[in-house]
A and B are shown apart, each in its own frame.
Chain A
């Protein structure tokens, strides 16, 4: 049944199933990615624990966005992209030929690095995901709940019919977070969700991430070391397309094994 729901079936009905260790939601295995001829991810191996926050850090251009976009197959939209290796979700390889991208993205929500609200009304932005997935929900209720979760409802509660593009950059980003929550995914990917936010909104989003941990698995890319230290349980440090170090956040920040990690974290990088 679960196999059916996931839609991850081989042609002959066989599933490619691999039991993940207890408490693990996703597993990245020997994953390579090329943009045309340039390799952007090099044999990445990493585990993502259920109901935990995993942070990805590293200098600009090291492949953080590429990696997080690989987790819900958003890189498929770029024609030049080629991948090797597997990424397992609940024991199923999302890069298997038979995997269904639509199902995968339904289960793995995403907030992009740049806010990208639809040019619709605020309410329609939130409701969109429910609509395309045929979720039978009360529009008003969903819109209010998600906006509240994303710490933006109070600011805009009287403008739900306005065009989303009339919001400020930071508000747009929180709207995008709210939009991702509306489809109630299992995993939430956030690519620098706070880069356009002021400290107050950032604090709210961090609270939200703590809150979300109860029900969701969260992966967050951030440039902000303090933020990674504050919100995450696990941290991955990347450099030039490679995963240099991965471990408990406490360990990475207090006692990094690699010199490169330490340099980056302490800001003596370069």
Chain B
């Protein structure tokens, strides 16, 4: 018979071990990325962050791809957050149970569709449609990528926000209704604030999907290393970090490979910065709603 104290200790150390292991793996990935990217950083310096990309002239500025990644991710969020919030409010607070039971699994199913399918739809249907409608130069564009990524991010955002709002105790909603608040006031002033950290996580996950997505983007963004002109021109073509890596990787050698690893570091950094920003926002909103603890 092991004493309870010892058992406690073992559990403690097991989980400590697992946590340490995860941190180690992430550190290794980062170190690996850095080692592999170093030759490019060493050789190109700040040229790496310029917007000139010309392989024959040995120019490897990845700024267009960095910009493209951020542009596409923000665009996708502008599409997906309002829609996703609306849908999750409907699902969790308004839809009768019967409808919810049908819709929720369907939405979760959407999240499981492989991204190449979305990319295909985007390239064939959406690209074509936008091309015909707006008379663009070709079927590829930021707009097509943004719309497809927005749609891809939707199921995660809807499903996670719905869970977060469903988890708000009924007591709280009852308290609000009993004070003469309407259903909508209750949603806006009680349910959403109480679920805000879950909703923020949902948005981060959605953004993660948008930034990390490769296949679908590759098919519709155009893969041109150029900044859109003007910079917010959604009808222009461009590139993202992920698409750049995926397209170049197979056919490149020498320093380009190192450049691609540097692109990987950028991707890593963007995600980290965004998650820090959202953590900060989360703390701020929580403070605003909840007062001092």
Contacts and interface: CB of A to CB of B under 8 A. Distances in A.
Given A74-B174, A79-B96, A120 B180 contact: no
B230 interface: no
A5 interface: no
B175 A116 contact: yes
A118 B176 contact: yes
B178 interface: yes
A163 B177 CA distance: 21
Contact of B189 (A110, A123, A128, A183): A128
B292 interface: yes
Contacts of B290: 119-121, 163
A25 interface: no
Nearest to A159: B292
Given A102-B182, A106-B180, A163 B291 contact: yes
Contact of B291 (A103, A106, A121, A129): A121
A224 interface: no
Nearest to B185: A132
B169 to A, nearest CB: 7
- In the complex, which of the residues B97, B181, B193, B293 has the most CB atoms of chain A within 10 Å of its own CB atom? B181
A117 B181 CA distance: 15
Nearest to A116: B171
A270 B293 CA distance: 45
Contacts of A180: 178-179
Contacts of A79: 96-97
B189 A132 contact: yes
- In the complex, which of the residues B174, B176, B178, B189 has the most CB atoms of chain A within 10 Å of its own CB atom? B178
A116 B172 contact: yes
B170 interface: yes
A162 B178 contact: no
Given A77-B170, A118-B172, A163-B290, A109 B185 contact: no
A133 interface: yes
Contact-residue size bin, chain A (C-beta under 8 Å from the other chain): 35 or more
Contact of B180 (A102, A124, A163): A102
A85 B189 CA distance: 34
B126 interface: no
A161 B181 CA distance: 22
A174 B244 CA distance: 61
B187 to A, nearest CB: 12
Q: Is the interface of B mostly helix, strand, loop or mixed?
A: helix
Contact of A74 (B96, B172, B178, B289): B178
B291 A118 contact: no
Contacts of B181: 102, 128-129, 132-133
B173 interface: yes
Nearest to B97: A79
Interface residues of B, number: 26
A194 to B, nearest CB: 18
Contact of B175 (A118, A133, A165, A166): A118
- In the complex, which of the residues A79, A105, A176 has the most CB atoms of chain B within 10 Å of its own CB atom? A105
B194 interface: yes
B190 interface: yes
B240 to A, nearest CB: 39
Interface in A236-265: none
Contacts of A74: 174, 177-178
Interface string A159-176: 001111110000000001
Given A116-B169, A118-B190, A110 B178 contact: yes
A64 interface: no
A218 B181 CA distance: 21
B209 to A, nearest CB: 30
B291 A109 contact: no
Interface in B167-207: 169-182, 185, 189-190, 193-194
Interface string B224-240: 00000000000000000
B222 to A, nearest CB: 47
Contact of A114 (B97, B171, B193): B171
Interface of B: 96-97, 169-182, 185, 189-190, 193-194, 289-293
Given A118-B190, A164-B291, 17 more contacts: A79-B96, A101-B177, A105-B179, A106-B180, A119-B172, A119-B290, A121-B290, A129-B179, A129-B180, A129-B181, A132-B180, A133-B179, A166-B293, A176-B175, A180-B178, A180-B179, A183-B180
